[in-house]
Amino acid sequence: MKEFKAQSKKLLDLVVNSIYVNREIFLRELISNASDALDKRRFMSLTDSTLAADFGIEIKVDKDKRTLTISDNGVGMTEKELEDHLGVIAASGTEVFKKEQNVKDNAELIGQFGVGFYSAFMVAKSVTVISKKVGETQAHSWTSDGVEGFDIAPATRDGAGTDVVITLKDDDGEDKYSEFLQSYRISKLVKKYSDYIRYPITMMTEMYTEDREKADEVTILNSMTPVWKKQKSDLGENELDEFYKNSFRDYRNPIHNIFTRVEGAVDYTALLFVPAEPPFDYYTKDYKRGLSLYCNGVLIMDTCAELLPEYLGFVRGVVDTPDLALNISRETLQHDRRLKAIANGLEKKILSELEKLLKNDREKFEKIFTQFGKAIKFGAYNNYGADKDKLKDLLMYYSDKNKKLVTYKEYTDGLAEKAPVLYACGETIEKISMLPQLEVARDKGDDVLYFVDPVDEFVARMLEDYEGHKFNNIASSATDGEVKTEKPNHKDLLKRIEEKLGGKATVTATDKLKSYPVCLAAKGDVSLEMERIMDAMGGGIKAERVLQVNLDHPIILGMEGLSDEAFADTVTVLYNEALIAEGYKTEPEFLAAINRLLAPAEAKPAAKKSAAKKADKKENEEN
């Protein structure tokens, strides 16, 4: 016997020993595998006609042996493929396992999501797979009880394809595995989960003839019409959602679907979905962006990346066109004019649909933007902003004044001509909302947009302006010109503070602050936010830091009367306060400076010294 890999064993254990509300999905998983195998053989048969056959999936029930058999005449598996593919949990299943280490959640997730072939062990005491690969003469069997490992042996099978034979577990009180021996139950499940499968799924059913004789009848359980071939009016209420969940292995309903038929230079039907959340691998290199491409109902490519611009990579779905040659190769397909035409059409359609949602179903649009807004922002920035004008009106930012997401259009509506779009950068809405610089903007009644994604400021630079309104970082505009003040010596004070900072920042006065004494800003082209992003990417570009001082603040007003040591400590504390407000780490000397400033007078070294001196003097006098 060969042992299962460790990771698979753990997952199997979970599958077998959890109580499943929806263990019925095992049938869907096995039928999907059969359908995939048929797709592969059908595709091969396009160039090798000897592989053509009457493709189909057959379900057989044997009540006496308590077995359920799912057979297909697809590509089949070699001995090695049986071992490699069925000996380990498929990558997708393992990912689910890795993501959710909590056992209860796992059970839930697997139940809804499925772990492919292994889900058979939710209902099976043992599983035997008999398979013969196309073009081979020898078949093999793979048998396992789903616990430790599996056995592989030579077997016989007519023609290429695969039989998955499930021996059901014994009924155990409430747990009635026998339900899967009832033909009406099976036919209901096929209708529920696999109706759209393009190959006939047949079942032998016992029937009674008119003379009350028992006879077998072969019935086709599924309608076989791909959903996208149906008329919209014929679609069941949740049919599109169900199709999405089954086809794209998601257990959540999509946020939105787009169903479109286009007739023109190129004819095509597209059924597109915006998922509820990005898939777990969306931001990794593993994520395969693209749509499934069909030619008259025959799958040509699983994920055709050329059909979507990169920034819409989160959209899933299918495209079916009669206009491509069935046996077109991937390489030629990539340069196909018709494919480009479809891609352009889809991009326009998706964008116009998003615009429509923004107008008519704000809640839905915001849901989509919250999940995938980052992708759209990258779209506006990438390729030197080639798509920025298409996308700028879909971008949303949290508004300081309205406490909700607004578009640039909404922000600039009612703004004076040429008045800037004010923004502030930070890690979270909460952190930005506490920036000292916001106070004066708020006092003046100016709205400020919150840039929480690192890419936001880059997009603003790319756009340059929105309908004539330039972008203005409220933390960056360090050189605001002269600040009016009654204080005569303020220049000297600023110079003295700058000296104490020892080159860490230059110092200017500002009227942007109210209750805060200082804030940090940047001079020139590189903002603090940009410096941070550059740092994260390996460093290099530095912002020119400016400490902006509120000359009317009591702390600043009181600084002139301080001793040199206390002045230096106050500068350190103020500078670190500005760092904190901007989300930076503090400097090591910060804490010592606070401690010295807060220490009661008699504990201060200077005070101690003079106290000691006095005592000495007294002693001397006494002597």
Chain positions contacting ligand ADP, by CB under 6 A: 29, 33-34, 37, 72, 74-77, 85-86, 90, 92, 116-118, 162
Altogether, the residues listed in the chain come to a count of 623
Task: State the nearest-atom distance from the C-beta of 265 to ligand ADP, in Å.
Answer: 37
- Rounded CA-CA distance 207/215 in Å is 5
Q: Which is nearer to ligand ADP, 130 or 295 (CB)?
A: 130
Q: Which is nearer to ligand ADP, 127 or 422 (CB)?
A: 127
Q: How many other C-beta atoms can be found within 10 angstroms of the C-beta atom of residue 429?
A: 12
Task: State the nearest-atom distance from the C-beta of 514 to ligand ADP, in Å.
Answer: 59
Question: How do 421-425 and 469-473 pair as beta strands?
Answer: parallel
- Rounded CA-CA distance 208/186 in Å is 19
Task: State the nearest-atom distance from the C-beta of 38 to ligand ADP, in Å.
Answer: 8
- Rounded CA-CA distance 619/614 in Å is 9
Helix, strand, or coil here: 242? helix
Q: Which is nearer to ligand ADP, 34 or 123 (CB)?
A: 34
Q: Which is nearer to ligand ADP, 76 or 254 (CB)?
A: 76
* DSSP states along 340-359: HHHHHHHHHHHHHHHHHHHH
Task: State the nearest-atom distance from the C-beta of 75 to ligand ADP, in Å.
Answer: 6
- Rounded CA-CA distance 25/31 in Å is 10
Give the position of tokens 């206390």.
Answer: 566
Task: State the nearest-atom distance from the C-beta of 177 to ligand ADP, in Å.
Answer: 21
DSSP assigned state of 5: P
Q: Which is nearer to ligand ADP, 189 or 425 (CB)?
A: 189
Q: Which is nearer to ligand ADP, 33 or 476 (CB)?
A: 33
Task: State the nearest-atom distance from the C-beta of 237 to ligand ADP, in Å.
Answer: 28
Task: State the nearest-atom distance from the C-beta of 62 to ligand ADP, in Å.
Answer: 19
Q: Which is nearer to ligand ADP, 60 or 85 (CB)?
A: 85
Which strand ranges, in their side-by-side order, compose the sheet holding 405-407? 405-407, 396-399, 449-451, 421-425, 469-473, 465-466
Q: Which is nearer to ligand ADP, 156 or 383 (CB)?
A: 156
Helix axes 337-360, 362-385, angle to 10 degrees: 140
362: nearest Cα among 405, 391, 392? 405
177 HSE (CA, 13 A, CB side): 21
Four-residue CA torsion sign, 115, 116, 121, 123: positive
Residue nearest to ligand ADP (CB): 116
Task: State the nearest-atom distance from the C-beta of 325 to ligand ADP, in Å.
Answer: 26
Task: State the nearest-atom distance from the C-beta of 95 to ligand ADP, in Å.
Answer: 10
Q: Which is nearer to ligand ADP, 284 or 360 (CB)?
A: 284
How far are the Cα atoms of 130, 268, 324, 544, 548 from residue 294, in angstroms, in the given order?
A: 30, 10, 9, 55, 61
Task: State the nearest-atom distance from the C-beta of 249 to ligand ADP, in Å.
Answer: 8
Q: Which is nearer to ligand ADP, 72 or 400 (CB)?
A: 72
H runs (alpha helix) in 553-601: 554-557, 564-581, 589-598
- Rounded CA-CA distance 299/42 in Å is 9
- Rounded CA-CA distance 180/27 in Å is 9
Give the position of tokens 């254990």.
Answer: 13
Residue at 86: amino acid letter: L
DSSP assigned state of 335: T
Q: How many other C-beta atoms can be found within 10 angstroms of the C-beta atom of residue 158?
A: 8
How far are the Cα atoms of 19, 114, 122, 188 from residue 14, in angstroms, in the given order?
A: 9, 12, 9, 27
Task: State the nearest-atom distance from the C-beta of 79 to ligand ADP, in Å.
Answer: 13
Beta bridge partners of 71: 58, 163
Q: In angstroms, how far apart are the furthest CA atoms of the chain? A: 137
Q: Which is nearer to ligand ADP, 69 or 433 (CB)?
A: 69
Residue at 121: amino acid letter: F
Task: State the nearest-atom distance from the C-beta of 163 to ligand ADP, in Å.
Answer: 9
Q: Which is nearer to ligand ADP, 76 or 436 (CB)?
A: 76
Task: State the nearest-atom distance from the C-beta of 70 to ligand ADP, in Å.
Answer: 8
Q: Which is nearer to ligand ADP, 127 or 343 (CB)?
A: 127
Which strand ranges, in their side-by-side order, compose the sheet holding 139-144? 2-3, 149-155, 139-144, 124-132, 161-168, 67-72, 57-62, 201-208, 214-220
